[in-house]
Structure 1
């Protein structure tokens, strides 16, 4: 799908979140000089084509008390990584889980999962649970704990120049 100027305006108007009003799509439409129907139709089309993955609430896990956060990395057998990654991604406390290519010989990990909890002990318990799910398909793992937030936003489109 090729984005036109109107699609880009809609993305720019919504990329930081929808307005917290009773009719957010109507407000976005009014700000852009479009109808609510056009805004909603275009968002649906962009979602169906994969340009937008989802429209969802994104709670601030820190304000919810989940202040211990660790990016866990796992060396999982390639033939099982998709199946097991889906199970890990469905766990409570995992906000994102994805497969990435290994960078051998220094980086053998191919499954990444962000674990959240109210304490490091909670996160370590989750890590143990993930290890149990992965079982003997996992050859090694590690975790990197967050110490502070440097960026907490999604993708931002930049305006095209020229």
Structure 2
């Protein structure tokens, strides 16, 4: 490695990454310019954070409604705890499932612990896909609900970096 970012540059980089990569041919170079560094150091810092387990991957947020996917539903299921990892892996790899994750139940009001997001152009298309998904995986009798979105909210990634003033005061 040729050098490290200083603490302020590293914090600035974390905050910039939380806002997403710049739409540029060389996004890491653009980030480096914004924090007064060079592209190589930015890439080294990101690599180091990944090796330390700070994050697993970079992702992107698609504006699915703008692409014509207006029938968006969350399939919520009550999967036995001993099976939730295996069922989640299968469903997460299934065609048509955009997102699959486990969350704790909130009994007695909310018995569901596995969530699958499905986007489609038409509501009926999504319902058919869900029926097929449940049947193909032997889950038709598992307690579940299909919850359709009624409005879109601003989507963004997680925000974890402390405000820049905390570093200056600390």
How high is the TM-score relative to the length of structure 1? 0.86
Which of 22, 32, 35 is the matching residue for 1:29?
32
Structure 1 or 2, whichever has the larger Rg, is: 2
Following superposition of structure 1 onto structure 2, how do residues 12-161 of structure 1 map, counting pairs within 5 Å? 12-136=15-139, 139-156=142-159, 157-159=161-163, 161=166
SS of 2:32's equivalent?
helix
Q: Give structure 2 stretches of 5+ with no counterpart.
A: 1-6
Aligned residues: 159
TM normalised by structure 2 equals: 0.82
1:129–1:11 distance in 2 versus 1, CA, 3 Å:
farther
Shift of the 93–72 alpha-carbon distance from structure 1 to 2, 3 Å rule, reads same
Show structure 1 runs of 5+ residues with no match. Answer: none
Look up the SS of the partner of 1:80 in the other structure.
helix
Matches of 1:5 and 1:87 in 2, distance apart? 42
CA RMSD of aligned residues (A): 2.0
Q: Which runs of 4+ in 1 moved over 4 A?
A: none
Higher mean C-alpha deviation, range 128-137 or range 109-118: 128-137
1:88-134: CA deviation from partner (whole Å, max 9, x where unpaired): 11123322211112222332211111111111112112211331244
